[in-house]
Structure 1
Amino acid sequence: MCLNNWGGINHKVLQFNEYVNLFSGKSGSGKSTVMDAIQVILYGSFSPTFLNKAADDAKNRRSVLSYLRGEQKDGSANRGDCDFCSVIALEIEDTGSHTFTCIGIAFEVRKNDSEIKRFVYFSHSGRMPEPSYVTADGFCYSNNDIKKLVNTRSQSADRRARGDVNRIYASKEAYLGTLYDVILGYIDPNRFITMEKSAIALRMTNGTGQFIRDYMFPKSDSGTIETISEQLDAYRQIREKIEDMRKRIELLKEIKESGQELVNIQSDIVMAETMIRCIDIEDMRAKIQAAEDDKKRIEEEQDRLSEKAEDIAGQQADVQQEYIQVCADLKSSDLGSKKDQLRELEKRSLMLTDNSRQWIKITNGLKAWDEDEVITDYVSNAVLNLIEEIVDGDVTEAKCQELHLKLESIKKDIEDELEDNTSQKNEITKELKEKKRLVDDMKNNRKSYSESLRSARAALQRDLSDRFGEPVKVQVFADMFDVQDEEWKNAIEGRMGRLKFSLITEPRYAHTAAVIFRDMKQFEDVDLINSKAIMDSEPKAMDGSLYEAVDTKEKYVDVCLKRYLGHIIKCRSVDELEQVRDGVTPDCYSYSNFIFRHLKKRDYTTNACIGGRVSKARLAEYEADVERLEKDQIQLMGIISSLKAQRDFECLKGEPEYFVGLSEASDELKAVNSQKNELEEIIRTMENGQYKELKEKKRLLEKNIDALKSAFSLNQQQINEKISQHEKIIGANEQRRAQLDDMLQGYVAREELEKQVQDMLQHSSGASVKSKQREKLIELQGADGNGGRQQSCVETLQTARYRYIKEFPSGQFSGAEKSNKAYEELLEKYEKDYEPAYESEFEEQCKVIYKSLRENVIGTIHGDIKAAKRHAYEINRLLRETNFSDSTYQIKIEPAKNENGQFYDMLMAEELDSKNPDNGGIAGQISFGEDDFYKKYEQKIKLLTDKFMPPRDEDEHLRMQKRKEMEQYADYRNYLSFSMYEQVTDENGRVIRENFVDDMAGRDSGGEGQNPKYVALLAGFAMLYMQQSNRDSKIKLVLLDEAFSKMDQERSAVCLKYARKMDLQLIVCVPDERLQSLIRNVDCVYGFRRHNNQISMMHIDKGDYLKLMEG
């Protein structure tokens, strides 16, 4: 192998032994660099996916371009800043003909290339040129040099390799085609590349069984799918014709049966309707006769009731005359007038009682002015005396008018007082709420900032944090400094005023904050300090200024305090204030701009907020204010409640004469009640005499008159009812006779039917018989004549017709035919003419399909399975001869454990081993026993036939999908299950247990787990190389990186000996610590070292190394 400008190698040639070659070195010494170069040559691929796979390091992803430039982990590169050429090549010896062929790839790399752009795949006969693709000037061959070399070798008289190998390849595909078909001996490239990639890192992700299936037992190549698909397509066409004919016959039979059923139902309907009509006629005649009898009976009852009415009228006249005489006698007595007087007195008594109660209510209302302690203070003694006189009964119109005016005046004064107290209470409530909020904020160490200020601060802080991608704090200026001298605290609070509520940020955020704050127009009452501008102005503080009384930890805040407080001088008198331009005294008397003013008290009391923490003294002051305000609030609420009560007090609204009348009602009531009692006694005496007898007689006469009126009314009612009944009977009979005439129209009497009806009427009533017939009609045609069995049958017939028309729209039917005759004629034609012919053709096609399926599919799979078992037998024989430490491994082939396993018995049937004398004794051909085989496996054969049925749909995706499914069922491996197991024997060599490798995964130690994987891997390569061709010389190469990492010396040695038995050529990478344990079983050793980003390789003499070990 030659490596020119590859990784940390400038120029190196390695020679490999025919059997076991070992690369030894520390991690990162360059072993994988050489292994990756071999893979790039064999795969013809520049993809990074297979490079350095044994490292399994996601962060250490290499590429072919990084190898060419010699890039290192520290970011440097051996050839990073120059243009250069590179060649990697393998020299392959044909051990049968002892000829040599070289294959490789040449690269030209520019320093600014980000991908591989200039390269050529090449191969040539003979050995590598001296000195291994390097020019006389010491430079690596360029692409043109390679082309010249290939051209020279193509014209050379030296012995050439098999085929035309002196070529420059235009594509990767052309290169791989020559490599695998001509040079390596017709090897399957996909299997070879996949197995080599698996061997590099020894990963069998799907299990050992799946690996054995994919790489030790390849898929057979046969044209069975095309053959069987064409025949099945013809089979499907004739089968569809049969199914079409059967479908037509089936649908036409449904139409015929539905039509016959409809005719039967319609006959039953006519019979039932005729029977009901016959019964109705007989019923009508009977009703007419019964009505005539009823009319005669009613006329007799009418005569009797008329006589009774005349008798009652005579009795009424006698009683009425007697009643008139008694009423005249009662009216002539004086009792009536007395009772009228009594009724008038009772009305007068009720009215006076109401007036008396109303006056009592009014006097009680007037007493409230004297009884309420709060209201009494607003009422003068003169008014109270006037109220007392009226309550005692001294009531005149003048006094009522006077009291009303004075009470109205008092109520107005009280309302004014109530309005003042309510206003005062509202102010106290507002102040109390504010004080409570301040106390709550102070107790929770919070400043009582406005909601607008809080919102502005939060919004600005959030936007700044989003803009800078880090937390940015926005502070209130008052929170950033403290007042050290308590004497000047109020003065500082007052002079800072609104400024102390301003927002401030660190200077580095000031400009961005100003930009953001410009769009926050809703916060008109919030200010933002430009801390950056103040820092840049570098203000100075004057001696004796308020700046000396404050302190802060932030430098930019300190500068702001110099700017705002450094010019305000602390003074204690007006004289001192007049000596400065800007000053203030401790009692908050300020002088500025030649103006004296008192600082707003609210700024240094309620709105005081300077400092990191609240003042305990101020908290105590606010708590005392809260307690005082709560007491004042309670007191005012009591006064307001009492003042509001006067609104319900009596003030004599109304006319004075009305109140005078109410006050006299009590005395008048006593006089009226006395008169009423005397009159009641007189009436009671009169009623106990002759008047009582007349009154009783009148009551009895009234009762008798009422009874006669009721009797006469009842008798007259009965007469009217009889008249009405008589008229109704006459009218009804006339209608019945008209109905009977209508019933008889078109009715033809049928003696047989009428006799049947008469027989039925002897056992049941007409209504019962009709009910049964109507139930039958409802069942047949529904309650409205458009349903029932008839409608269902019509719908069934129509559905059957439409189903046939839908299935076969090209016919001559519309579905609205009145008769089924055309359908029935077509059915008869199909049954006699077409069906037998199609059935015969179908039977012939089935025979052809069965024969083809058995020969092209079942027989082929049968032979492939037997061949696979023979291969497995050969491998197992070799495995039995090799004892892997204390383990012996075997490969096992069984029927598939999935749904495909159901076909195994059929595919391995003894009938398939029969030989046909005409075909040279080839197994799997048909000669006899076909009927027995088909009968035995009929269901499985039909099921397998469906699997190979070609798709009818023309969609390319569906065809490809079905093609893949058919290829799976044509692949003998899908009917088998592959596995490897560890064979456990007793002391006599008898097998007592089989431990399957995939089942033991995770339970064995590392070495025991790797052992069977290497057994399967090496056996798979042996199978691959044995099956490739019949050539004497065959490729035997296996690449193993980080091999036998978990296996001990004994197991590793057995694996290497096993590889020799398999006649394989190994290139194995191991760390230095494994060299001593493996060197006795290898043929060629290279030691790898890396120094200053350069890889060196030294060939180690095995004999010298063993002597060194013995020494």
Structure 2
Amino acid sequence: MKLLKKLLLINWHYIEHELIEFTGINFLTGKNASGKSTIIDALQLLVLGDTSGNFFNKAANDYSQRTLKGYLRGEIADDGGTGFIYLRNGIFSSYIVAEFYDTIKKKPFCFGVVFDVYREDKPTHRFFLLEQPIPEHQFIIDNTPMDYQTLRNHFNSTGKTKYQFFDTNKSYRTAFRGKMGGLNEKFFNLFKKAVPFSPIMDIEKFICDFVCDVSSRIDITDMQDNIRHYKQLEQEVGYVKERIERLTDISSKFKDFDTEQKRLQKQHYLMQRARLQDAEDKITELKEKVKQNNEAIAKLLSQVAEKEEEIKQLENKKTELLEEKFQSDLYKKIERLEKQLADLIEQQKQLDKLRHELAKLMTKTGASWKRALKVYYKEIASPDSADHFSLLQYAASYLSAIKADDLISHKIEQELKREQLQQIRSQMKDFQNKAHELFFAVNTRLKKATQQATELEKVIANLKKGIKPYDGKLLELRLEIQNQLKAQYNQDSPVEIFCELIDLRDKKWQNSIEGYLHTQKFYLIVPPECFVSALKIYDQLKFEREFYDIGLVDIGKLQELNPRVEKGSLAEEVITDNPYARVYADYLLGRVMKCEQVEDLRSHRTSVTPTGMLYHNFTARQINPQRWKTPYIGKQALKKQLEIKEKEFVELTQEIKAIEVRFDILEGLKEVEPLAEDSINHITGSLRQLQAYPDLVRERRQIEETIKGLDLSYLDKLDQAIAQVDKQKKEVAKICEQLKTKKIVAENENKNIIEEKIPQQERERDNLRQKIEENYTAEWIQETGEPRFLKELQKRGSPDKITKAFHSQLERTRSQAEKKWRELVSVRSDYNRDYKMSYDINIPENTPFDEELKELRDTHLADYEAKIKDAREKAQKQFQEDFISKLKQNIDTVKGQITELNDALKSVAFGRESYRFEVKPNPNYKKFYDMITDTMLLEGFNLFSQAFQAKHRDAIDELFKQIVDVGEGDLTADERAELEKNIEKFTDYRTYLNFDLISKDESGQESRLSKTISKKSGGETQTPFYISVLASFVRVYRIQEISRRRQSKTLRLIVFDEAFSKMDHQRIQESIKLLRNLGLQAVICAPTEKIADITPLVDRTLCVTRGNESTVVRAFDPKILEDEDELPGEHHQSAAR
């Protein structure tokens, strides 16, 4: 076996240099924080080959934050910030070295690790194996631990030292397991879990992971591939059969389509052939029509010539009658009178037009001025100005009422002379000037009011923000003084406005104080020590920036003056916390006395009433209310200012609206045009022309009476004769035109027939004939098409009747053929899509599909069926041999291992209890377990024999389904993840078994740890954990095998930190006894409270003590301690080593 003999620690936390010796059962104790876990962590790091630090101090705290850097540098406290205080801050090296002894080879050897630490850089390390004891120099030369390179050089320099450095932690762990007897990987997890001694909450998982030494997973990749291949072949033969079925359906649908297509071809020929015959018949009819039209045209030409001669004779007769009429004296007299009458009528029309236009002009002018004056007097003019434009009002009313008939009277000319019109024009211009004058005045006020409203809005907005409307120059000067004082004194110096520093006690005196102070309330106040500097700044800028009439108060001088405040003065009403404002208020108001009644004012040199009546220097005067209209003093001043300004804004807004109304009215009034000089000339001139209107009317009536008195019977008879000739001529001309029209119609019809209809029919005939020749073979036409057409023609009598008879049949057949074609194309397209084929789905024949159907039916199907049979047999054999047999082997192995452990535990009694491990079938998977372990498989049956299938078919089928991903390509990501989960579960022997730890008391009563673990006390919980861990180490260290072979090659070390902390003395005694019985070497860590219970039972006690900045370990053996009891006190220290 391999036993731990020594542990060397150099520069490890509080340990500077310590060599600790071990024997069989070792007890490591000491007070809390003495450094016990420090030693345990060092031993763990070396055994596990793990430098991450994840396991440090886990027995004390699951969330421990100890780090490798903290152990190496010796972390002792934090620095109050984000860093730490360390014992070691320079460049140094640290060592952890364990010396083991091989009891078979009788040789010591060492495993160790050297750390090189470089200030703030990450420490570097190398694990090593040394085939000799720890050297005498213990890796220290000249009082300095060797770094890695020095150590390597030192080993090389001796020439005899057999050693090995490891490049990685992994290679070190592999070497460690090999050197310690070929331990498996479970050793590291078990060792790490045992150290903190935390109770087991999942007993099944612990037994499987640490007690049983069997691979939990069976690789079924090859078996899956074979089964998948077999299933794939089954899918493929189904795939072939499906394709055969689909191709058979395609062939059937092609035959249906072909039948309809042939019927359609025959009907289509009949329709085309009937149209061809119809075209030929129409050509014959058109030629006959041309012949008939030519005969009609010749007859019409003769009739037209006769009518034209008759018209000529009537025209000669009319000429004779007109000459007789025009040569008569009566006709000439009437012609002269009618000409005079026409001239008079034209003159009257011109004068009518003139008088209507003039009346329109005058009424329009009068109406516009009437409206303007009405608006003016209603909205603009003052009541006392009603007669100012009286003439204009009368003229506007007069003009607006004028009618066209009024303008032909002599009275109108008298009323509208040029002088009167000039007076009206003058008043119009006066009115226009007045409107302009008022418009510009209103416009000016509107602009001013709008600007005031804008400024008021800004003031209101600032007041709402808490900004009072101070004069801009006051604020500019205040800012300049502030900035320059800050630059001079390198700190902010207050520059305040006096009114902002004070408030008033009684608001009754607000107006009087505001009015009395007037501009003084806006004076600037600076600290006394800054006055001279502020004054210089003021003086420097006064002209450049126009800073005038702004007061700067000399507070220092006022403080020296110490002004007196009279009782009853206005100063009593001023409240302020600012001493500078106080002294200035006292100076200004301390002698201004308050008087409720004016008659009391004379009682004081300076006094004032609440209403602002001021008495000063023996003179009384009323302070202008404008001084207090806008209040600036007091907390309520801002609110009151806001109320005042908002009221002003409302009033100003109302005023603007009223002004805008006047503005719009005046803007319209100033645009009303007065009578122009040209208009006056036009009116007077037109009136003069209209004076001739009555004479003109009278002359017209006289001529009309003369014409009416003439005897016109002779002329009437001539006119009647002329009218009769015109009537006859018109009738003959009409007949002539009708004949000409008929001739033209016949000629045009012939032209249309010859040039258009016959060529069109010939083209249609030729086109139909060509289509028939293209679509049908001569043989088919001769044998099938033409005989059928002649039969139908004889039966129905005409091509048109054939067309009518077969039109609806053709559409039905075409619809049926198209339907059959769509069905065919659809199944062809589906076939191409589903089977990734590229056949032309629109070809009229079915050749490629029929050829593939023949090949699949005659060749592929038979090949697949033969392959399926062979693949099935291989898959069945592999499923039984590679999966079921191995799974059964794992289950049998686990049962055997549990039996061996139980044999070892039979003779071990833990107090009044004994323990054994139990393994039995998992009831949830019992049907699978029964199938896997069925003895029929040992009696020559296989999984797929009829008898075995009859017994376990459901289990086999379900197991196949769970672990074989048939159709893997179609699995979704979730389905694939579920499959992998099932494979992991069903190939793991643990799925089919349940594990437990059974305890039996002296009365034979048994209890299962899985049922009672959550109900037991601390000690009761630690005991089964202890048994399980020891059993696991027996398994990992292969102690049972070794005892049978009389060999002892493996490590025996087990480490418990804070072990037995919750066990009573009896349980501790039994635990240590069990360690000895199992042949294990142990390092047990516990606090000093357990010394009395543990020390008498162990081979060595290691006591850890810590001074201020160092930790030391002292060893005490029970035999030595017994001897020391008989020695004098001074010899006790020598017994410790």
- Normalised by the length of structure 2, the TM-score is 0.58
SS in 2 for 1:1031: helix
Of 20, 24, 27, the match for 1:13: 20
Q: Which residue of 1 aligns with 2:110?
A: 103
SS in 1 for 2:77: coil
The answer to which of 395-404 and 614-623 deviates more is 614-623
Q: What do the CA deviations read for 1:563-621 (whole angstroms, capped 9, x no partner)? A: xxx9xxx9xxxxxxxxxxxxxxxxxxxxxxxxxxxxxxxxx999999999966786687
1:281 aligns with 2:273: yes
Equivalent residues in 2 for 1:884-903 (5 A)?
Answer: 894=922
Change (3 A) 1:638 1:855: closer
Q: Which residue of 1 aligns with 2:806?
A: 769
Q: Which residue of 2 aligns with 1:655?
A: 679
How much has 1:39 moved relative to structure 2?
Answer: 0.6
Cα distance between partner residues in 2 of 1:660 and 1:996: 134
Q: What do the CA deviations read for 1:224-278 (whole angstroms, capped 9, x no partner)? A: 779879x969x97x99999999999999999999899879967975664355324
Contact 1:48–1:63, Cα closer than 8 Å, also in 2: yes
1:429 aligns with 2:450: yes
Q: Which residue of 2 aligns with 1:1092?
A: 1108
How much has 1:35 moved relative to structure 2?
Answer: 1.2
**Matched AA of 2:435:** I
SS in 2 for 1:61: coil
Cα distance between partner residues in 1 of 2:422 and 2:1061: 126
* Aligned positions, number: 938
Cα distance between partner residues in 1 of 2:1063 and 2:699: 139
SS in 2 for 1:66: helix
1:912 aligns with 2:915: no
Equivalent residues in 2 for 1:885-964 (5 A)?
Answer: 894=922, 907-908=932-933, 910-914=935-939
Change (3 A) 1:798 1:367: closer
Tell which structure's C-alpha radius of gyration is larger.
2
Equivalent residues in 2 for 1:810-829 (5 A)?
Answer: none
Q: What do the CA deviations read for 1:614-647 (whole angstroms, capped 9, x no partner)? A: 6678668757865775676566546535533423
The answer to which of 68-77 and 25-34 deviates more is 68-77
User: Where does structure 2 lack aligned partners over 5 or more consecutive residues?
Assistant: 1-5, 316-320, 326-330, 399-411, 476-490, 504-513, 527-543, 546-553, 564-573, 589-626, 702-728, 970-975, 1126-1137
Cα distance between partner residues in 2 of 1:753 and 1:258: 30
Cα distance between partner residues in 2 of 1:203 and 1:436: 79
Q: Which residue of 1 aligns with 2:885?
A: 859
1:181 aligns with 2:173: no
Q: Which residue of 1 aligns with 2:56?
A: 51
Of 25, 28, 42, the match for 2:33: 28
How much has 1:280 moved relative to structure 2?
Answer: 3.4
Cα distance between partner residues in 2 of 1:816 and 1:632: 89
Of 973, 992, 1006, the match for 2:988: 973
**Matched AA of 1:88:** I
Cα distance between partner residues in 1 of 2:692 and 2:902: 141
Cα distance between partner residues in 1 of 2:201 and 2:430: 109
Equivalent residues in 2 for 1:35-184 (5 A)?
Answer: 35-56=40-61, 61-73=65-77, 80=88, 87-92=95-100, 97=104, 99=106, 101-105=108-112, 107=114, 112=119, 114-117=121-124, 121-124=128-131, 133=138, 167-171=163-167, 172=169, 175-183=172-180
Cα distance between partner residues in 2 of 1:712 and 1:32: 142
SS in 2 for 1:45: coil
The answer to which of 607-616 and 442-451 deviates more is 607-616
Q: Which residue of 2 aligns with 1:644?
A: 667
Contact 1:3–1:12, Cα closer than 8 Å, also in 2: yes
Q: Which residue of 1 aligns with 2:706?
A: none
User: Where does structure 1 lack aligned partners over 5 or more consecutive residues?
Assistant: 156-164, 455-472, 498-524, 527-539, 571-603, 678-704, 807-814, 917-923, 952-960
Cα distance between partner residues in 1 of 2:986 and 2:874: 22
Equivalent residues in 2 for 1:1057-1096 (5 A)?
Answer: 1067-1070=1083-1086, 1088-1096=1104-1112
Cα distance between partner residues in 1 of 2:429 and 2:879: 124
Cα distance between partner residues in 2 of 1:375 and 1:791: 96
Contact 1:284–1:736, Cα closer than 8 Å, also in 2: no
Q: Which residue of 2 aligns with 1:215?
A: 210
Equivalent residues in 2 for 1:421-500 (5 A)?
Answer: 421-446=442-467, 490=519
**Matched AA of 1:362:** T
**Matched AA of 1:280:** Q
**Matched AA of 1:71:** E
Equivalent residues in 2 for 1:753-792 (5 A)?
Answer: 766-769=803-806, 771-773=808-810, 776=813
Q: What do the CA deviations read for 1:26-84 (whole angstroms, capped 9, x no partner)? A: 542322111101111202333223322345476x6334453244332356878526776
Q: Which residue of 2 aligns with 1:195?
A: 190
Change (3 A) 1:64 1:443: closer
Contact 2:912–2:1001, Cα closer than 8 Å, also in 1: no
How much has 1:445 moved relative to structure 2?
Answer: 2.0
Q: What do the CA deviations read for 1:86-140 (whole angstroms, capped 9, x no partner)? A: 543445466x7595645332547577484444756234467x678x949899998
Contact 2:1022–2:1063, Cα closer than 8 Å, also in 1: yes
Of 7, 17, 33, the match for 1:2: 7
**Matched AA of 2:922:** E
How much has 1:863 moved relative to structure 2?
Answer: 1.0
Q: Which residue of 2 aligns with 1:362?
A: 365
The answer to which of 772-781 and 1031-1040 deviates more is 772-781
Change (3 A) 1:201 1:295: farther
**Matched AA of 1:431:** Q
How much has 1:774 moved relative to structure 2?
Answer: 5.8
Change (3 A) 1:86 1:636: closer
Change (3 A) 1:1053 1:649: farther
Change (3 A) 1:1094 1:208: same
SS in 1 for 2:1042: coil
Cα distance between partner residues in 1 of 2:214 and 2:1085: 32
How much has 1:177 moved relative to structure 2?
Answer: 3.6
Change (3 A) 1:873 1:438: farther
Q: What do the CA deviations read for 1:267-311 (whole angstroms, capped 9, x no partner)? A: 97566435532453346546866998999999999999x99xx9x
Contact 1:217–1:868, Cα closer than 8 Å, also in 2: yes
**Matched AA of 1:1092:** N
**Matched AA of 1:8:** Y
Could you tell me the percent identity over the aligned residues? 15
How much has 1:494 moved relative to structure 2?
Answer: 7.8
Cα distance between partner residues in 1 of 2:279 and 2:668: 88
Change (3 A) 1:62 1:350: same
Q: What do the CA deviations read for 1:182-202 (whole angstroms, capped 9, x no partner)? A: 33x21113x222233334456
Q: What do the CA deviations read for 1:702-759 (whole angstroms, capped 9, x no partner)? A: xxx9999999999999999999999989986886688668767865555666666688
**Matched AA of 1:180:** R
Contact 1:349–1:673, Cα closer than 8 Å, also in 2: no
How much has 1:420 moved relative to structure 2?
Answer: 3.8
Change (3 A) 1:24 1:855: same
The answer to which of 283-292 and 103-112 deviates more is 283-292
Q: Which residue of 2 aligns with 1:508?
A: none
Contact 2:218–2:883, Cα closer than 8 Å, also in 1: no
